[in-house]
Amino acid sequence: MLSSYFTMPWHLAQMRASCVGPYLDGFIKMLVARGYSADGVRKFIRSVAHFGRWADGAAVGVASWDHKTLRRFRAHLRRCRCEPNRGMFK
């Protein structure tokens, strides 16, 4: 399902390799079922992938995610230089 929205092999591999990788196809299915456009799905997936890369780099395991984790990520976004388009988290 992810490959329906992103085609570059390196980009797909990067997204799948993060801690959110196993959940992306299910998340896409949910977004499509709720009527999001292809552009909307791509924006959400870019944002979730960004969060996953950050969580991996910060050594924050999925099982420990909570409101504090989201606050830490939000602080990261204020100074983020990870990628030019951060999607929905701007």
Give residue 84's pLDDT.
53
CA–CA separation, 26 vs 4, rounded Å?
13
Closest to 41 measured CA to CA, from 24, 53, 54: 24
The SS3 of residue 85 is coil
CA–CA separation, 65 vs 37, rounded Å?
28
Give residue 87's pLDDT.
45
Chunked mean pLDDT (size 10), the chain, 90 residues: 93 94 97 97 95 94 94 93 54
Q: What is the largest distance, in Å, between two alpha-carbon atoms of the chain? A: 34
pTM of the model: 0.85
Contact status, residue 77 vs residue 89, Cβ threshold 8 Å: yes
